[in-house]
């Protein structure tokens, strides 16, 4: 019976509202007191039933809830024949609960939309080679799947055949389609907008990036910040205190109506709900924009960050070295570049790849007698010539003459922060290339936004040489730069900043920098959803888009401000209502309940504003 009544709360509220209208029409329009009293009495009795059940359930677990206060107030009003107010209070309380739930559901819409994107089926290649549609739970790692235009990719996988464009908004927050072809990685929950591809399943079910995102966001919603924990402890003692206050007022004044009015007005509903709704809305906004905020405590801590420490490679820079400067000294340019490309094609070093990418398609000679010089480069015979490719030390080892012009170019390239690749043909310098990682587009502007948001210290730590790191720091306007930093050096530096009282966020790629990510008050991973990034960090920028970082900081600051606004609204309304009872003659139960429910809706609507938050500068 209790479950049935609670399940019909909305219907009871509707019936109560109709009975109240009938009561007032009978009383004021037809002067029929009998029907009016009967309507108000039935509305009160019906309305108090679900409230009393919830109060009883709360008392069973030794909690004096808001429902307990309202139940006592309604029953007391009923007993002193204040039927109009008891009917109105029950209706407003039930109707307010309906509006609260409806509005709260909207704040969770971002999460609901996310979970609804979860794939339910897949076209799996069977033993006979044909593809059949099966439930996504029946897909195992290693299975071959077919995805057609408009289809939802069911697992994390790798493209085997075909090409197309995939909308990865559910993972990265970016609506622009991403091109996919052979060996490209794809994510579960993303949509193939055009083309047809076959993929091999690498991760399935809850192990997919999409599954982990949903799990993390749902956990974040359920987490409680220090402010929420305090409010829960406060309301645990505050609600009984209101009950005691009402009893004291009744003992001294013998005014039952005044006492039960205090019970209604002292309900802390808006205070209890104000902070959680802000957190849920903030987390939902982040999920929509490719920012995973892993809990309410993260929002609180990140909003107060004053120092951000960045790994350089893959964070401030693209992480893909390219030829930035080059000088050619020999007369036969094409021949020298062909020798260089032929030798570098033999190496898997990142600098070698940068060189071959820069040269592009060219004739390749047969390479013989290859000798890899550790820490220096490569020496080989190509088309009857001795070719040396490497750094200055290798050139000196090979007795290659470096004239003043070449030395001046070397110094210039080093000043630009470039790694050097020299090429000598039969002992004569032919090519000098300067290779460096490129700064991410828009990073300088994003760092300026972080400063405007209140970040005082911007620090870069890198394993590169100090000159390269200094160059990046000067170009981006960072406050400090440190080179030659191994992972253990970075974590020690972060620990030192924390000991000095700074609130530190560390931003890295989530792999080599895991110790620093875990040690900082806030660890932020640029990792496109890698396993280590998701597990180690507090915030994940799913698409590795640096511009999400200012959005994340602005969002957490807005969320924290929103919490404070809601607390101020809730406390202010309660103080106003209680003051009105003692210092005015117009306050009663009905008006108090109306204002009380109104304050709850105000804090919910205020929290919902965060769903539309966008960084303005």
Q: Which residues are catalytic?
A: 311
Alpha-helix runs per DSSP H in 425-530? 443-452, 466-476, 487-499, 514-519
Q: Is 472 exposed, middle or buried (0-12, 13-18, 19+ CB in 10 A)?
A: buried
Q: DSSP class of residue 317? A: B
Give CA–CA dist 217/118, Å, rounded: 14
Asked if 136 and 121 touch (Cβ cutoff 8 Å), the reply is: yes
Annotate 283-298 with three-state secondary structure: HHHHHHCCEEECCHHH
Token pair for residue 151?
């289809």
Nearest residue to 272 (alpha-carbon basis) of 77, 63, 87, 92: 63
3-class SS at 407? helix
* CB contact set of 94 (below 8 Å; sequence gap of 6+): 9, 10, 12, 13, 16, 47, 50, 51
Max CA pair span of the chain: 118
| Terminal Cα distance for the chain, rounded | 56
Question: Judging by DSSP bridges, how do beta strands 457-461 and 191-203 pair with one another?
Answer: unpaired
Which residue(s) pair with 186 in the sheet? 157
Token pair for residue 140?
């195992």
Q: DSSP class of residue 168? A: -
- Residue 212's region, left for phi above 0, alpha for psi from -120 to 50, else beta, is alpha
Give CA–CA dist 200/447, Å, rounded: 39
Tracing tokens 């990510």 back to the chain, one arrives at 517
Give CA–CA dist 588/262, Å, rounded: 9
Nearest residue to 550 (alpha-carbon basis) of 536, 561, 564, 539: 539
* Distances in whole angstroms, Cα of residue 10 to Cα of each of 72, 93, 96: 21, 11, 10
Asked if 538 and 516 touch (Cβ cutoff 8 Å), the reply is: no
Question: Judging by DSSP bridges, how do beta strands 522-526 and 539-541 pair with one another?
Answer: parallel
Angle at 301 between CA 444 and CA 212, to 5 degrees: 85
Q: What is the dihedral of CA 454, 297, 524, 613, to 10 degrees?
A: -60
Q: What share of the chain is helix, strand, coil (3-state, %, to 5)?
A: 55, 20, 25
């Amino acid at each position: 019976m209790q479950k049935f009544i609670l399940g019909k709360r909305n219907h009871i509220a509707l019936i109560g509202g109709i009975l109240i209208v009938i009561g007032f029409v009978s009383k004021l329009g037809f002067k029929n007191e009998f029907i009016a009293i009967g309507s108000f009495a039935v509305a009160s009795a019906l309305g108090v039933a679900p409230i009393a059940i919830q109060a009883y359930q709360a008392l069973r677990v030794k909690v004096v809830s808001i429902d307990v206060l309202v139940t006592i107030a309604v029953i007391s009003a009923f007993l002193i024949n204040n039927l109009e107010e008891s009917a109105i209070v029950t209706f407003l309380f039930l109707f307010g609960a309906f509006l609260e739930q409806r509005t709260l559901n909207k704040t969770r819409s971002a999460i609901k939309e996310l979970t609804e994107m979860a794939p339910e089926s897949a076209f799996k290649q069977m033993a006979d080679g044909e593809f059949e549609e099966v439930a996504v739970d029946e897909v195992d790692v290693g299975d071959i799947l077919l995805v057609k235009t408009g289809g939802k990719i069911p697992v994390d996988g790798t493209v085997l055949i075909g090409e197309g464009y995939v909308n990865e908004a559910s993972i990265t927050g970016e609506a622009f389609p991403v091109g996919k072809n052979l060996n490209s990685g794809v994510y579960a929950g993303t949509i193939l907008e055009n083309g047809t591809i076959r993929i091999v399943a690498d991760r399935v079910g809850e192990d997919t990036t999409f599954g982990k995102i949903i799990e993390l966001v749902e956990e974040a919603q359920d987490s409680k910040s220090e402010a929420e924990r305090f409010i829960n402890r406060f309301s645990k003692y505050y609600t009984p205190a209101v009950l005691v206050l009402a009893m004291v007022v009744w003992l001294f004044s013998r005014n039952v109506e005044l006492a039960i009015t205090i019970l209604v007005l002292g309900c802390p509903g808006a205070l209890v709900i104000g902070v959680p709704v802000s957190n849920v809305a903030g987390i939902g906004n982040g999920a929509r924009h490719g920012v995973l905020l892993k809990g309410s405590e993260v929002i609180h801590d990140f909003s107060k960050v004053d120092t951000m420490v960045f790994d350089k490679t893959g964070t401030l820079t693209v992480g893909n070295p390219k030829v930035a400067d080059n000088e050619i000294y020999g007369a036969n340019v094409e021949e020298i570049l062909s020798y260089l490309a032929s030798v570098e094609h033999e190496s898997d070093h990142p600098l070698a790849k940068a060189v071959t990418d820069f040269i592009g398609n060219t004739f390749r000679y047969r390479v013989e007698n290859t000798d890899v010089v550790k820490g220096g480069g490569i020496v080989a015979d190509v088309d009857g010539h001795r070719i040396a490719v490497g750094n200055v030390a290798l050139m000196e080892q090979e007795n290659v003459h470096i004239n003043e012009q070449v030395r001046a170019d070397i110094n210039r390239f080093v000043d630009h922060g470039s790694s050097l690749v020299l090429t000598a043909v039969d002992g004569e310098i032919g090519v000098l290339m300067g290779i460096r990682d490129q700064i991410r587009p828009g990073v300088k502007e994003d760092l300026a936004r972080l400063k405007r948001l209140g970040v005082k210290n911007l620090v870069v730590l890198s394993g590169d040489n100090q000159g390269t790191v200094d160059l990046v720091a000067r170009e981006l306007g960072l406050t400090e730069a440190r080179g030659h930093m191994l992972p253990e050096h970075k974590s020690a530096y972060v620990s030192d900043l924390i000991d000095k009282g700074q609130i530190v966020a560390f931003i890295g790629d989530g792999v080599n920098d895991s110790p620093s990510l875990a040690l900082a008050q806030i660890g932020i991973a640029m990792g496109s959803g890698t396993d280590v990034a998701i597990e180690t960090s507090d915030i994940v920028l799913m698409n590795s888009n640096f511009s999400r970082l200012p959005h994340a900081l602005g969002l957490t600051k807005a969320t924290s401000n929103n919490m404070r606004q809601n607390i101020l609204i809730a406390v202010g309304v309660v103080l106003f209502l209680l003051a009105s009872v003692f210092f005015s003659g117009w306050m009663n139960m009905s008006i108090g309940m109306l204002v009380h429910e109104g304050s709850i809706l105000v804090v919910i609507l205020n929290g919902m504003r965060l769903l539309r938050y966008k960084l303005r500068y």
